[in-house]
């Protein structure tokens, strides 16, 4: 077997290796945010709420601009009333997160708890139909966590920030590993040149 990589199989890897440093950067950012969320959960919650507010505001303003441009909406309806409602609701929610962060944080925890409970219930139904005990345990755990978060949003808020922090640490570590691997590929003198 020759020292060169098969062209078709590793074409994407050879394309990604040019931006190996971006993966390392994202990994470092993820690990720093994860550590911040675990060591200073209040600050971590503020960052999560800040990103949520920014997303809602950008989404809302973009939808309002689209509604103001007139003409049919993206799926062909003449009325753009739903775009106006969507844009106003998203913008109002973004402003609400900025103006009343404590209430927003509680609502966020309750919504995540409701989502977990619903997903857990669906997993329980699937586990019952499939006769899968492990799926049933996953479903029961999700329902339990969801109900606990809705019943006690204060501790749920802390748990949510810790979960986001742990996820950021794991994701950051994976990004670092991928970036380091891509860097090795980029600096491999025996590999084929990247396609331009």
| Segments of the chain with pLDDT less than 70 | 1-16, 70-79, 189-196
Same domain, 72 and 92: yes
Do 171 and 119 share a structural domain? yes
Q: 111 and 157: one domain?
A: yes
**Where in the sequence is the domain holding 94, given as residue range(s)?**
42-99
Question: Residue 3's pLDDT is what?
Answer: 47
Quote the pLDDT of residue 10.
Answer: 60
The predicted pLDDT at position 6 comes to 46
Residue-level pLDDT at 196: 46
**Does some domain include residue 156?**
yes
Judging by beta carbons within 10 Å of its beta carbon (0-12, 13-18, 19+), is residue 158 exposed, middle or buried?
middle
In this prediction the pTM is 0.57
**DSSP of 119-144, one letter per residue?**
HHHHHHHHHHHHT-HHHHHHHHHHHH
What Cα–Cα distance (Å) separates residue 109 from each residue in 39, 48, 55, 171? 19, 12, 18, 22
Q: Which of 152, 127, 182, 168 is nearest to 13 (CA)?
A: 182
Q: Within a domain: residue 27?
A: no
Tokens of 165: 């922090």
Residue with tokens 């199989």: 9
117 and 73 within one domain:
no
Q: How many CB atoms lie within 10 A of CB 42?
A: 11
Is 114 in the same domain as 62?
no
Q: Which value, to the nearest 10 degrees, does the dihedral of the CA atoms of residues 105, 110, 111, 117 take?
A: 150
Q: Which among 99, 116, 139 is the end of a domain?
A: 99
Give dist(CA 102, CA 124) in Å, integer. Answer: 33
Shared-domain flag, residues 110 and 167: yes
pLDDT for residue 31: 93
Residues 156, 135 share a domain:
yes
What is the per-residue pLDDT for 191? 59
Domain count, the chain: 2
Query: DSSP letter at 51?
Result: H
Distance CA 18, CA 104 (A): 41
Length of the chain: 196
Shared domain for 105 and 140, answered yes or no, is yes
Question: What confidence score (pLDDT) does residue 77 get?
Answer: 52
Dihedral sign, Cα of residue 22, residue 26, residue 29, residue 35: negative
Helices (H) and strands (E) in the chain, counts: 7, 0
Residues 119 and 177 in one domain: yes
Pair 123, 147 in one domain = yes
For position 184, what pLDDT does the model report? Answer: 86
SS3 content of the chain, % helix, strand, coil (to 5): 80, 0, 20
């Amino acid at each position: 077997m020759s020292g060169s990589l098969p062209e078709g199989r590793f074409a994407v890897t050879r394309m990604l290796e040019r931006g190996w440093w971006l993966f390392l950067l994202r990994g470092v950012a993820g690990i720093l945010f994860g550590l911040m969320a675990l060591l200073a959960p209040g600050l971590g919650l503020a960052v999560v709420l800040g990103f949520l507010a920014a997303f809602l505001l950008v989404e809302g303003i973009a939808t309002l601009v689209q509604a103001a441009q007139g003409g049919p909406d993206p799926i062909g309806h003449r009325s753009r009333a739903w775009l106006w409602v969507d844009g106003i609701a998203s913008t109002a929610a973004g402003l609400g997160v900025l103006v009343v962060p404590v209430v927003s944080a509680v609502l966020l925890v309750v919504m995540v708890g409701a989502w977990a409970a619903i997903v857990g219930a669906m997993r329980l139904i699937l586990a019952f139909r499939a006769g899968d005990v492990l799926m049933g345990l996953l479903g029961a755990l999700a329902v339990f966590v969801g109900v606990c978060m809705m019943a006690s949003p204060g501790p749920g808020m802390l748990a949510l920030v810790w979960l986001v922090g742990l996820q950021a640490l794991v994701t950051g570590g994976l990004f670092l590993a991928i970036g380091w691997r891509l860097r090795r590929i980029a600096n491999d003198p025996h590999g084929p040149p990247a396609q331009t």
